[in-house]
Amino acid sequence: MLDPNYVRENLEAVRAALAARNFPPAVLDHFAELDAERRRVNSEADDVNHERNNASKEIGALMQAGKTAEADAKKAEVAGLKGRQAELEKQRDEADVAMRELLSGLPNLPAADVPVGPDESANVEVRRWGTPREFDFEVKDHVDLGTELGILDLERAAKVAGSRFAILSGQGAKLERALVSFMLDVHTGEHGYTETQPPLIVNRETLFGTGQLPKFEEDLFTLTDDRGFSLIPTAEVPVTNYHRDEIVEAASLPMKFVAFTPCFRSEAGSYGRDTRGLIRQHQFEKVELVKICLPEESEKEHEELTANAEKILQLLELPYRTIVLSTGDMGFSARKTYDIEVWLPSQQTYREISSCSNCGDFQARRMGTRVRRAGGSKPEFVHTLNGSGLAVGRTWIAVLENYQQADGSVTVPEVLKPYMNGIERISKA
RNA sequence: GGAGAGGUAGCCUAAUUGGUAAGGCAGUAGUCUUGAAAACUACCGCGGGAAACCGCUUGCAGGUUCGAGUCCUGUCCUCUCCGCCA
């Protein structure tokens, strides 16, 4: 959520920023009058409330002094205020709701150094690591490799659940587990993150906090239970909300969490896209990095978090590139996002395997997460960051495709061998 | 699922028959001190405001009342016991 004071004072700049995000700035047309009305009604309601509070105090004093007649007169006076007060409070609530609805639907403002452009064509590559391997045979994609090795079964998954689900078996399931353990060990052991296991089901307040609601309800799997539960689309949602409605101590920052969870996405509206294989699933596993930090530290923490995610690919010796998303390609809550893309031989291109975002104070304002600094100053909103470290299913794909051999087997990356009982390769059982 | 107890500020604890949130710890600043501790003074829930000051706050939402931490209704959460259970 944007700061209403900032929007009031920088209306044209906000309008331009929204346009750069392909967001119709017309919703801001009524901001000024809505804002003025809200503040007018609010102060008027305050005044009336003040009058009534004072009168009540006087009545209390009169009652204790035994002057009941004067107290009764005063009571009658206050009774006349009640109707007026109810009316003003109703107006204030309506104005608050209207303003909140307007603001809660607005995306975050892009950082100054984000490239401006209409879509992914304006994204900018910032670095590239590793060299794609040369194959002297016809490469297969992960679906053919996995199916022929007997470690991936998409047809039976479709029978059991539906499309966009998968069954991993044998060394395939083990590889997934090895990747998870490896990533968690690196992030906890070398990067200083605290491992955490959050709820996989969250309530609506939590979904509002990170920005999934109110605009992206259709992306979620929502339970029919009347408590408003949804399955998490990413661990970012529960973990970032750990300190919702809290004021934390500055000394506790930065907080760095790593969470391994399944993620559930309805993928409504993505029919026909990435229909083959594991790229886009209703259920997938992800190791997620989340940071909560001081405002002036978030840019540094963002670079570091992205580097932490890249480290996994370096250790797995998988070629990748890192790009910064343009204004037109960024997510709702982000002010700046790096995507890390891994090389997939079957597609002869780089594909997203991690998305690392600095959300600034956007989520913190929605969640009410603030920090109290030393010296008794007023609480400030924290900054929040998140990034995949990494998407496990897509890493599984990258390992199969980049480490495939002419005979259809897959050699095990050096760093994963300890997690695979020391086996050298995955062969047909 | 049944029965009971309880949610007060970062933590802990008060508040007469309803009278407008008291205190302690921690924390911050200062005095004193070579420095620290101790002691003393001030600040010490949230929002707005340059300030004076104003408004809000006892899990949440309503109701009664001139006035609700206190009375009533609903709801969320925590704990205890019983039942069931991975």
User: CA A402 – C1' B2 distance (Å)?
Assistant: 60
Nearest residue by alpha-carbon distance to C1' of B66 = A75
Q: Residue A233 pLDDT > 80, yes or no? A: yes
User: CA A63 – C1' B14 distance (Å)?
Assistant: 25
Active site residues of A: 265, 280, 352, 355, 394
- What positions of strand B are covered by protein, i.e. any atom < 7 Å from a CB? 10, 19-20, 27-29, 43-48, 54-56, 66-67
Check: CB of residue A285 under 8 Å from CB of residue A230.
no
User: CA A164 – C1' B82 distance (Å)?
Assistant: 45
- What the block records as the tokens of A162 is 């539906």
Name the phi and psi angles at A370, rounded to 5: -125, 170
pLDDT digits (tens, 9 = 90+) for A237-247: 999 999 888 88
SS3 percent helix, strand, coil of chain A, rounded to 5, is: 45, 20, 35
Check: CB of residue A328 under 8 Å from CB of residue A22.
yes
Q: How far apart are CA A42 and CA A49, in angstroms?
A: 11
User: CA A407 – C1' B46 distance (Å)?
Assistant: 67
pLDDT digits (tens, 9 = 90+) for A78-126: 877 777 887 888 888 888 888 888 888 999 999 999 999 999 999 999 9
Q: How far apart are CA A223 and CA A206, in angstroms?
A: 15
Check: CB of residue A149 under 8 Å from CB of residue A428.
yes
Residues of chain A with pLDDT > 70, as a percent, come to: 99
DSSP state at residue A222: B
User: CA A82 – C1' B73 distance (Å)?
Assistant: 22
DSSP state at residue A121: G
| Angle between the N-to-C axes of helices A392-402 and A142-149, in degrees from 0 to 180, rounded to the nearest 10 | 80
Length of chain A: 429
User: CA A226 – C1' B82 distance (Å)?
Assistant: 28
Q: How far apart are CA A66 and CA A44, in angstroms?
A: 33
Domains (range + CATH), chain A? 4-104 (1.10.287.40), 120-426 (3.30.930.10)
- Distance of alpha carbon A358 from its chain centroid, rounded? 10
Q: How far apart are CA A345 and CA A142, in angstroms?
A: 10
Nucleotide nearest to A71 (CA to C1'): B66
User: CA A22 – C1' B61 distance (Å)?
Assistant: 39
Nucleotide nearest to A75 (CA to C1'): B66
What ipTM, to 2 d.p.? Answer: 0.81
Nucleotide nearest to A246 (CA to C1'): B10
Name the residue with higher pLDDT: A369 or A190.
A190
In this structure, how many other beta carbons lie within 10 angstroms of the beta carbon of residue A363?
29
Nucleotide nearest to A372 (CA to C1'): B10
Residue given tokens 């007018």 in the structure block: A40
CA distance from start to end of chain A: 53
Collapsed DSSP state (helix, strand, coil) of residue A179? helix
Q: Residue A398: which of A333, A332, A365, A350 has the closest Cα? A: A350
Q: What is the CA radius of gyration of chain A?
A: 27
**Segment holding A10, helix H or strand E:** none
Nucleotide nearest to A52 (CA to C1'): B66
Beta strands in A164-312 (DSSP E): 167-168, 194-195, 201-202, 230-231, 246-249, 255-264, 283-293
pLDDT digits (tens, 9 = 90+) for A150-185: 999 999 999 999 999 999 999 999 999 999 999 999
Q: Which residues touch strand B (CB under 7 A)?
A: A 46, 49-50, 52-57, 59-60, 63-64, 75, 78-79, 82, 247, 370, 372, 374-376, 378-379
Nucleotide nearest to A48 (CA to C1'): B55
Mean pLDDT of chain A: 92
- What the block records as the tokens of A381 is 């909103």
Q: How far apart are CA A44 and CA A324, in angstroms?
A: 47
pLDDT of residue A166: 97
Name the phi and psi angles at A293, rounded to 5: -145, 175
pLDDT digits (tens, 9 = 90+) for A393-423: 999 999 999 999 999 999 999 999 999 999 9
Q: pLDDT band at residue A375, thresholds of 50, 70 and 90?
A: low
pLDDT of residue A93: 82
Q: pLDDT band at residue A146, thresholds of 50, 70 and 90?
A: very high
Check: CB of residue A349 under 8 Å from CB of residue A224.
no
Average pLDDT over residues A189-198: 95
pLDDT digits (tens, 9 = 90+) for A63-75: 877 788 788 888 8
Name the residue with higher pLDDT: A45 or A387.
A387
Q: pLDDT band at residue A376, thresholds of 50, 70 and 90?
A: low
Residue given tokens 């480290």 in the structure block: A311
Q: Residue A217 pLDDT > 80, yes or no? A: yes
Check: CB of residue A361 under 8 Å from CB of residue A383.
yes
